[in-house]
């Protein structure tokens, strides 16, 4: 058991506002013991920049870091489905060792981008020929080792993927590595949780309604409920997906889920890009959460989530970097707000939805609240009992020069390039910086994949 430690920050984001001269006491178990504004620096490590809580990255496909920047050339019609075919080329090649190298690079980048926990929506279960590994956790443990090497918290979400589309008998050949059964993914989650590793936990994911039949969905959801695990599912990301669901089930995806699954606060619906007000109302009544991935949704041409229709009614949401074309939390928050401004031709949409004030504050608070639901962990910010995750911003960053303290968060989110992270702590411990050995292993993995 570690000893209690303490930090002292000139200003820190506490309960939705800046507090000053803040003493941050960390208990031996890595949670906050006390947060004391106007506190004493005696015996504490003095931090030299503003302090923000760590943010949960609620949706990650780590292996897709290997294609960031490699899918931006094309001709004719290019859309989500053509991108998916290119993404599968990486999925079919990557080895456990390469996945570990890529995930280690990614997780170090996420820490530097203000994330302290990542929810890994993991469906690369099998060997390159589609056969099961001798150890079913082969690929999962590559991700666990990457998280341990960097210090980031990891919620592993073994993902059920059974068929290529609505009504299909099974998977396409280029999806062979994804194959699983309700029993196999539940065993993976149980096995990861049984390891009892620090900062590592597991929940469960259902790839999508098109990829999982109703009986399997019900079986996995019931088991997850009994275990108290978070449940994640891709839903209503693309118009074609909505149309296919209508043709097969006679209902839209979220409409079907509301009628056939016992949604509750453990459910996290990823994307939910194409919704109706009635569907959002139903999700709110069920206390389910939405995971918004602004950079990926923009990169893939998905569309824009109805943020005011959700956040304006008190809906719970989190952010994820998904395909990792960007890896900074503030950039996801900025893109979330700017996508709303572009489609609505107004400003400060988050502030409007929240009832006024700072858009950056509403965005950060929303991401903090929803992140805990996504990870199934106490990660809600600088508050006693929550895990002691925090980032120290670069006090001398150009975007903060001459900035009044009360506007620092506004500048961090909306003045680009935003202030970088000078230091990050997870459960009170310093996270690993990106170093040459990690980058070299990543470069070698990329060369082997794409030579």
Nearest to 415 by CA among 350, 333, 349: 333
Sign, Cα dihedral of 96, 101, 105, 108: positive
Coil, helix or strand at residue 71: coil
Buried b (16+ CB within 10 A) or exposed e, 217-253: bebbbebbeeeebbbbbbbbbbeebbebbeeebebbb
Q: Which residues partner with 234 through β-bridges?
A: 270
Nearest to 61 by CA among 217, 192, 205: 205
Residues in the chain: 451
Nearest to 396 by CA among 383, 408, 380: 408
- Active site (annotated) includes residue 271: yes
| DSSP symbol at 161 | -
Angle at 382 between CA 198 and CA 232, to 5 degrees: 55
Separation CA 146–CA 142 (nearest Å): 6
Cβ distance 389 to 53 under 8 Å?
yes
Pick the catalytic residue from 25, 302, 306, 322.
322
Separation CA 399–CA 413 (nearest Å): 10
Separation CA 446–CA 451 (nearest Å): 8
Pick the catalytic residue from 61, 207, 271, 274.
271
- Active site (annotated) includes residue 213: no
Q: Which residues partner with 38 through β-bridges?
A: none
Coil, helix or strand at residue 16: coil
Q: Which residues partner with 31 through β-bridges?
A: 387
Q: Give 277's Cβ-side CA count (13 Å radius).
A: 4
Structure tokens at 186: 């539940």
Nearest to 340 by CA among 326, 329, 354: 354
Q: DSSP for 76-106, please give it.
A: S---HHHHHHHHHHHHHH--HHHHHHHHHHH
Separation CA 203–CA 106 (nearest Å): 21
Separation CA 161–CA 147 (nearest Å): 24
| DSSP symbol at 64 | G
> Which residues are tagged catalytic?
271, 322
């Amino acid at each position: 058991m570690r000893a209690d430690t303490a930090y002292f920050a000139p200003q820190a984001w506490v309960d939705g506002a800046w507090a000053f001269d803040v003493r941050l006491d960390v208990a031996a178990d890595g949670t906050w013991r006390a947060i004391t504004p106007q506190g004493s620096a005696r015996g504490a490590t003095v931090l030299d920049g503003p302090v923000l809580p760590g943010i949960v990255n609620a949706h990650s496909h780590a292996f897709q870091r290997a294609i960031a920047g490699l899918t931006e050339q094309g001709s004719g019609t290019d859309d989500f489905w053509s991108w998916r075919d290119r993404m599968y080329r990486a999925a079919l090649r990557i080895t456990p060792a390469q996945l570990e190298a890529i995930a280690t690079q990614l997780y170090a980048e996420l820490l530097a981008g203000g994330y302290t926990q990542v929810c890994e929506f993991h469906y690369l279960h099998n060997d390159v020929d589609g056969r099961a590994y001798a150890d079913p956790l082969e690929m999962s443990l590559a991700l666990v080792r990457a998280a341990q090497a960097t210090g980031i918290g990891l919620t592993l979400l073994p993902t059920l993927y059974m068929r290529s589309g609505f009504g299909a008998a099974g998977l396409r050949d280029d999806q062979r590595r994804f194959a699983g059964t309700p029993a196999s993914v539940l065993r993976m989650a149980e096995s990861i949780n049984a390891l009892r590793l620090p900062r590592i936990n597991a929940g469960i994911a259902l790839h999508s309604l098109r990829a999982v039949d109703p009986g399997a969905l019900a079986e996995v959801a019931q088991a997850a409920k009994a275990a108290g695990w978070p449940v994640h599912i891709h839903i209503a990301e693309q118009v074609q997906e909505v149309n296919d669901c209508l043709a097969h089930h006679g209902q839209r995806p979220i409409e079907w889920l509301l009628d056939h699954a016992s949604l509750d606060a453990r459910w996290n619906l990823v994307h939910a890009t194409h919704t109706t007000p009635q569907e959002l109302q139903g999700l709110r009544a069920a206390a389910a959460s939405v995971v918004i991935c602004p950079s990926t949704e923009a990169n893939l041409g998905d569309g824009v989530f109805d943020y005011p229709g959700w956040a304006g009614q008190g809906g719970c949401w989190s952010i994820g970097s998904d395909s990792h074309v960007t890896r900074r939390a503030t950039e996801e928050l900025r893109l979330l707000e700017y996508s709303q401004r572009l489609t609505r031709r107004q400003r400060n949409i988050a502030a409007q939805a929240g009832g006024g004030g700072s858009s950056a504050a509403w965005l950060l608070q929303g991401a903090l609240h929803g992140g805990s639901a996504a990870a199934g962990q106490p990660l809600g910010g600088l508050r006693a009992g929550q895990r002691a995750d925090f980032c120290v911003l670069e006090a001398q960053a150009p975007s903060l020069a001459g900035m009044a303290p009360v506007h620092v968060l506004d500048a961090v989110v909306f003045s680009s390039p935003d202030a970088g992270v000078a230091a990050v702590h997870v459960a009170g411990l310093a996270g690993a910086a990106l170093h040459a050995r990690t980058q070299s292993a990543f470069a070698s993995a990329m060369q082997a994949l794409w030579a």
